[in-house]
Amino acid sequence: MPLQCINPNGISTPQTYSHVIVAKGSRLVFIAGQVAEDGAGNLVGAGDMVAQAKQVFANIGLALTAAGARPDQVTKLTIFVANYQRDHLPQIEEGRVSLFGAHKPTDTLVGVARLSHPDYMLEVDAMAVVDEEG
């Protein structure tokens, strides 16, 4: 089930995401907000946005696999960034590309004062649309 990624005329074309994705499938997969913790619950990359982004997106990849979904089936991300600064974008993109490669799901980035733990810099949730055969 290929997703149709659209960047409409009249809206500037983003480099890192798509404005619109049209998806047709038989299952929706919702991934809860993932933070930079390893399998044992230990923080990865204290104070390091790149390390945290890589761990966050690795966790999304593990969650997708557990649900029988692939990164190229993700349609929507919500990215929460504690103490957001514009220079965080390329750092977050390193983690994002490590999971998605050239696939550009829609996304919303929200700067927040803090997340559920003071050392978390980033939290990302995801939604995917999957055909029954995966």
The rounded distance, in Å, linking the Cα atoms of 15 and 91 is 14
What is the pLDDT at residue 119? 97
What is the pLDDT at residue 26? 86
Residue with tokens 């055909």: 131
User: 89 lies in which domain range?
Assistant: 4-130
What is the pLDDT at residue 134? 45
* Beta-ladder partners of 22: 4
Q: How many domains does the chain divide into?
A: 1
The rounded distance, in Å, linking the Cα atoms of 21 and 32 is 20
Q: Which H or E element spans position 34?
A: strand 27-34
**What does pLDDT average to in each consecutive run of 10 residues of the chain (134 residues)?**
85 90 89 96 97 98 96 97 96 97 96 97 97 64
Domain at 10, CATH number? 3.30.1330.40
The dihedrals phi and psi of 69, each to the nearest 5 degrees, come to -120, 165
pTM of the model: 0.90
The rounded distance, in Å, linking the Cα atoms of 66 and 68 is 6
